[in-house]
A and B are shown apart, each in its own frame.
Chain A
Amino acid sequence: MYKIVKKETLSPAVKLMKINAPYVARKAEPGQFIILRVDEFGERCPLTIADYDREEGTVTIIFQEVGQTTKSLGMLEEGQDILDFVGPLGVASHFEGIKKAAVIGGGLGTAIAYPQAKKLHEMGAEVHSIVGFRNKDLIILESEMSKASSKLIITTDDGSNGTKGFVTDELKKLIEEGNTYDLVIAIGPLIMMKAVSNLTRPYGIKTVVSMNPVMIDGTGMCGGCRVTVGGKTKFACVDGPDFDGHEVDFDEAMRRQLMYKNHERQSLEDHKCNLGGETNA
């Protein structure tokens, strides 16, 4: 059992939890993830390691309540336990030699990008962060991101806060203003990562994206998480989740994401009564 030592609500559907998991905390690195199972009936649910404290023995996760698992997780309170929590999984991000980077977060992707921005910042790299949300109520991690970045741009689709528009518009502006990045990290919806990769390709800027396919074991055993990268099949859980954005087959990834749509709806319908609420996915 893994105790929830802290719980915070970041935006209406986004929650942060600090989980007591000393073994995972000892080894965790930015770019890696954990898989948890809330209870006996639950799915194995992969979530990025947003932060960790080796001394305290805790791992922080940030999740959006989109379906049954994340909603039941969101209903747990401080002091309660999660049944299973396994990690750290996946390959840690490599930042050797990076002097200047742009970190792009789309919606919840910001939470996944945050540890990477933080690590780059701690290494002394110049970090420009551009994070986009649908509207101002959905903005998360603003102060954390601003601490980890020398420049932070927040865009909203409806312009309700700061800049109206998409993250790609802002990135394009920065590049055209003459910023030369050693690395662009883009994390968010597939469509956004695809757009960023298409934008940076002609400039030849190395672009890393984080793939979040459906996973079960997270150890390379089921093959359910396969993505096509550079024409080859890769398992996101062991070869990734970070990949070269210029090589990823995003269209295939988008199709694969729809595999369980109907089941997910059914699962949520069947559980709505005991979750007591509307879906906001």
Chain B
Amino acid sequence: MPNMSPDKVKMPEQEPDVRNKNFLEVALGYTPEMAQEEAKRCLQCKNKPCVAGCPVNVKIPEFIQHVANGEFEKAYEKITETNSLPAICGRVCPQESQCEKLCVRGIKGEPVAIGRLERFVADWFMQNSKPQAKSIQKNGTKVAVIGSGPAGLTCAGDLVNLGYDVTIFEAFHTPGGVLMYGIPEFRLPKALVQKEIDSLKQLGVEIKTNMVIGKVLSLDELKDEGYKAMFIGTGAGLPNFMGIPGENLNGVYSSNEFLTRINLMKAYLFPQYGTPVKVGKNVAVVGGGNVAMDAARSAKRLGAENVYIVYRRSEKELPARLEEIHHAKEEGIIFKLLTNPTKIIGTDEGWVKGIECVEMELGEPDSSGRRRPVVKKNSEHIIDVDTVIIAIGQSPNPLIKSTTKGLDTHDWGGIIVEEATGATSKEGVYAGGDAVTGAATVILAMGAGKTAAKAIDEYLRND
């Protein structure tokens, strides 16, 4: 008998007032009993609407059936047929707009907690499985992967399993991309990402850190070093600013800088770790996506008293995952919606002391279908803050493009690829993830890495 409860089995979480002072994971994960109970809410629909909502088409009803039966290892094998990073996706996918959006249980109540179940299965497997040395028949062909975010890691994983000698080149001193330097510890524990990276290394993937491709080696030089094909997964790292007065005052951060200091450089453990971060007492975070939520919640955890999310559209348009918005509110983040900054105000010594904003109202829908915010007359006001974090989006970094002849990009910087294969305008060079789409999601980046791995394999076989 399926479990007909209209609600998901509740996820155990740290209390808001406790967790907003630490960097430990917020959501604690299901127990096996909870997972089995939730799994029983799945109706095993014949036409599997949920699967179509998942960008990598995880075999959702099948894996959930295994969970319901208590066959967790089998569930894991089922998921990993199409998704190589389930512990991560279960935590960070925007399920409400993907798999769970189409779940029939969502029509009259909450959808099946597909993400939570995926996370449970992955965590269970990590704790209970014994790593077994897998023997892969090597084919001796070298492939280079540039960037070690989810796109690069997935592409490398698929290629190494096909027998290629894969080397990942990463600019930072730590691999993992946004999973390491962007998404905070309290949402995605770094040890977990590290485990995924370690298992790739065990399969034989070589990771060279501190290698800024385009500077230390060009794509053509990589080719000369014997790499027969390449995958560019360099992400969208270039921070956008607003272009309003006062953006270079002391106390104004890009979300990238703020989060990198905290996550990658571990500024929350300063002075044990050498990198500082200045949080201030009152913080305004401009933007409404996952990045803005992460920055706001990190600022709160580092002791800020009042943290504002300043967003120019309404709650409905907030692009962040529902769960993050919900968690942010619980933790005391103050939402200033329909509010747009016009100027950052500084002291004589050049430090932020406030942010001037106008109120907005929603007008006609724009090209994206969202109602366009327009300025309300005489609504100027100042919010007193000493720190401003700008989280209004990122674009692909121009470094590789500017040092590679024959690599075509859009005006906004995204690398142009053939959608079905990830092939770029340069022979043997493939690309995917945020470097191609602009800032998107982990699962889409993974999907692009998979697509490219398959295409690279075909390309090299026909070579």
Which of B250, B260, B271, B399 has the most A CB atoms < 10 Å from its CB?
B271
Closest Cβ neighbor of B349 among chain A residues: A255
Residues from chain B with Cβ under 8 Å of A233 in the complex: 241, 247-248
- Segment 332-384 of B: residues with Cβ below 8 Å from A: 349-350
Q: Mark A95-116, 1 if CB is under 8 A from B, else 0.
A: 0000000000000000000000
Residues from chain B with Cβ under 8 Å of A223 in the complex: 239, 241, 253-254, 256-257
A256–B248 touching, CB < 8 Å: yes
B212–A85 touching, CB < 8 Å: no
User: A264 interface residue, CB < 8 Å from B?
Assistant: yes
User: B43 interface residue, CB < 8 Å from A?
Assistant: no
A88–B216 touching, CB < 8 Å: yes
B250–A256 touching, CB < 8 Å: yes
Residues from chain A with Cβ under 8 Å of B275 in the complex: 43-44, 216
Select which of B215, B251, B254 is within 8 A of A27 by beta carbon.
B215
Which of A43, A83, A218, A256 has the most B CB atoms < 10 Å from its CB?
A43
User: B209 interface residue, CB < 8 Å from A?
Assistant: yes
Closest Cβ neighbor of B214 among chain A residues: A219
Closest Cβ neighbor of B402 among chain A residues: A238
A43–B274 touching, CB < 8 Å: yes
Bound-state Cα–Cα, A258 to B347, Å: 14
Residues from chain B with Cβ under 8 Å of A255 in the complex: 250, 349-350
- Segment 207-246 of B: residues with Cβ below 8 Å from A: 209-212, 215-217, 237-239, 241
Bound-state Cα–Cα, A84 to B276, Å: 19
B215–A266 touching, CB < 8 Å: no
Which of A88, A222, A224 has the most B CB atoms < 10 Å from its CB?
A222
Nearest-neighbour CB distance to chain B for A106, whole angstroms, equals 23
B248–A252 touching, CB < 8 Å: yes
Q: Do A216 and B250 form a contact, CB below 8 Å, given A89-B212, A222-B257, A222-B260? A: no
Residues from chain A with Cβ under 8 Å of B210 in the complex: 84-86
Which of B216, B253, B273 has the most A CB atoms < 10 Å from its CB?
B216
Bound-state Cα–Cα, A218 to B210, Å: 11
Select which of B209, B217, B260, B273 is within 8 A of A221 by beta carbon.
B260
Which of B173, B238, B350 has the most A CB atoms < 10 Å from its CB?
B173
User: B172 interface residue, CB < 8 Å from A?
Assistant: yes
Bound-state Cα–Cα, A267 to B238, Å: 29
B216–A220 touching, CB < 8 Å: no
Residues from chain A with Cβ under 8 Å of B8 in the complex: none
Bound-state Cα–Cα, A266 to B277, Å: 12
Residues from chain B with Cβ under 8 Å of A264 in the complex: 276
B209–A84 touching, CB < 8 Å: yes
Select which of B212, B216, B271, B273 is within 8 A of A266 by beta carbon.
B271
Nearest-neighbour CB distance to chain A for B403, whole angstroms, equals 11
B interface size (C-beta, 8 A): 38
User: B19 interface residue, CB < 8 Å from A?
Assistant: no
Closest Cβ neighbor of A85 among chain B residues: B210
Bound-state Cα–Cα, A148 to B241, Å: 42
Nearest-neighbour CB distance to chain A for B51, whole angstroms, equals 36
Residues from chain A with Cβ under 8 Å of B247 in the complex: 233
Residues from chain A with Cβ under 8 Å of B273 in the complex: 41
Bound-state Cα–Cα, A219 to B216, Å: 12
Nearest-neighbour CB distance to chain A for B168, whole angstroms, equals 15
User: A119 interface residue, CB < 8 Å from B?
Assistant: no
Select which of A43, A84, A224, A266 is within 8 A of B257 by beta carbon.
A224
User: A42 interface residue, CB < 8 Å from B?
Assistant: yes
Residues from chain B with Cβ under 8 Å of A41 in the complex: 272-274
User: B397 interface residue, CB < 8 Å from A?
Assistant: yes
User: B66 interface residue, CB < 8 Å from A?
Assistant: no
Select which of A86, A88, A258 is within 8 A of B250 by beta carbon.
A258
Bound-state Cα–Cα, A224 to B398, Å: 17
B270–A263 touching, CB < 8 Å: yes
Nearest-neighbour CB distance to chain B for A1, whole angstroms, equals 11
User: A203 interface residue, CB < 8 Å from B?
Assistant: no
User: B265 interface residue, CB < 8 Å from A?
Assistant: yes
User: B91 interface residue, CB < 8 Å from A?
Assistant: no
Nearest-neighbour CB distance to chain B for A253, whole angstroms, equals 9
Nearest-neighbour CB distance to chain B for A18, whole angstroms, equals 18
Residues from chain B with Cβ under 8 Å of A89 in the complex: 212, 215
Residues from chain A with Cβ under 8 Å of B256 in the complex: 221-223
- Segment 35-67 of A: residues with Cβ below 8 Å from B: 37, 41-44
Nearest-neighbour CB distance to chain B for A265, whole angstroms, equals 10
Q: Do A217 and B172 form a contact, CB below 8 Å, given A256-B248, A258-B250? A: yes
User: B278 interface residue, CB < 8 Å from A?
Assistant: yes
Select which of A44, A68, A226, A266 is within 8 A of B265 by beta carbon.
A44
Q: Mark B256-283, 1 if CB is under 8 A from A, else 0.
A: 1100110001000011111110100000
Q: Do A217 and B278 form a contact, CB below 8 Å, given A43-B265, A84-B209, A223-B257? A: no
User: B27 interface residue, CB < 8 Å from A?
Assistant: no
Residues from chain A with Cβ under 8 Å of B265 in the complex: 43-44, 216
Select which of B216, B257, B271 is within 8 A of A23 by beta carbon.
B216
Nearest-neighbour CB distance to chain B for A173, whole angstroms, equals 35
User: B9 interface residue, CB < 8 Å from A?
Assistant: no
User: B171 interface residue, CB < 8 Å from A?
Assistant: yes
Bound-state Cα–Cα, A87 to B212, Å: 7
Nearest-neighbour CB distance to chain B for A238, whole angstroms, equals 7
Residues from chain A with Cβ under 8 Å of B270 in the complex: 263, 267
Closest Cβ neighbor of A41 among chain B residues: B273
User: A156 interface residue, CB < 8 Å from B?
Assistant: no
Bound-state Cα–Cα, A37 to B274, Å: 10
Residues from chain B with Cβ under 8 Å of A216 in the complex: 257, 260-261, 265, 275
User: A149 interface residue, CB < 8 Å from B?
Assistant: no
Bound-state Cα–Cα, A233 to B242, Å: 11
B350–A252 touching, CB < 8 Å: yes
User: A69 interface residue, CB < 8 Å from B?
Assistant: yes
Select which of A44, A224, A267 is within 8 A of B271 by beta carbon.
A267
User: A259 interface residue, CB < 8 Å from B?
Assistant: yes
Select which of B216, B272, B278, B398 is within 8 A of A260 by beta carbon.
B278
Q: Give me the 10 closest cross-chain CB pairs, A-B, nearest first.
A: A263-B276, A255-B350, A222-B257, A86-B210, A221-B237, A223-B254, A43-B274, A84-B173, A224-B257, A223-B239
12 contacts between A and B (CB under 8 A): A23-B211, A41-B274, A42-B274, A44-B173, A84-B173, A86-B173, A216-B275, A217-B172, A217-B260, A223-B239, A233-B241, A263-B271
- Chain A interface (Cβ within 8 Å of chain B)? 23-24, 27, 37, 41-44, 68-69, 83-89, 216-224, 226, 228, 233, 238, 252, 255-256, 258-260, 263-264, 266-267, 270-271
